[in-house]
Amino acid sequence: MTGDRRRRAPPPEPPASGLLDWSGSSHWDSRPRPCRYCGKPARLRDSKGSPAHKVCAEEVLARRAAEAAEAYENERLH
Ligand SMILES: [Zn+2]
């Protein structure tokens, strides 16, 4: 007899480029502090130990990458 148990194991998420891995305990604090980007309470810490949301930091990273790409494009056009 076979059981009809459906396992709901989530599929492993592949590491996407541009996304930060803040799963380490060094990125977590028990006390929320204002995010350095949006000011809302965040329990996450960035690589320098400053309070920040992962999404906020990723947004800044993405913006910086876009700006760098734009600057590169402009340089190439000259
Ligand atoms: Zn934030």
Q: 18 pLDDT exceeds 80?
A: no
Q: Considering the chain, what is the average pLDDT of its residues?
A: 86
How far, in Å, from the CA of 63 to the mean position of ligand 1? Answer: 15
Q: How far is the centre of ligand 1, averaged over its atoms, from the C-alpha of 29 (Å)?
A: 15
pTM of the predicted protein model: 0.66
Task: Check residue 33 and give its pLDDT.
Answer: 97
Q: Which residue has the higher pLDDT, 38 or 2?
A: 38
H helices, E strands: number in the chain: 1, 2
Query: Which H or E run includes 48?
Result: none
Given a cut of 80, is residue 46 above it in pLDDT? yes
Residue 50 CA, ligand 1 centroid: distance in Å: 11
pLDDT, one tens digit per residue, over 63-76 is 999 999 999 898 88
pLDDT over 70 at 47, yes or no: yes
Rounded to the nearest whole angstrom, what is the distance from the C-alpha of residue 56 to the centroid of ligand 1? 5
Output the CA 13–ligand 1 centroid distance in Å: 23
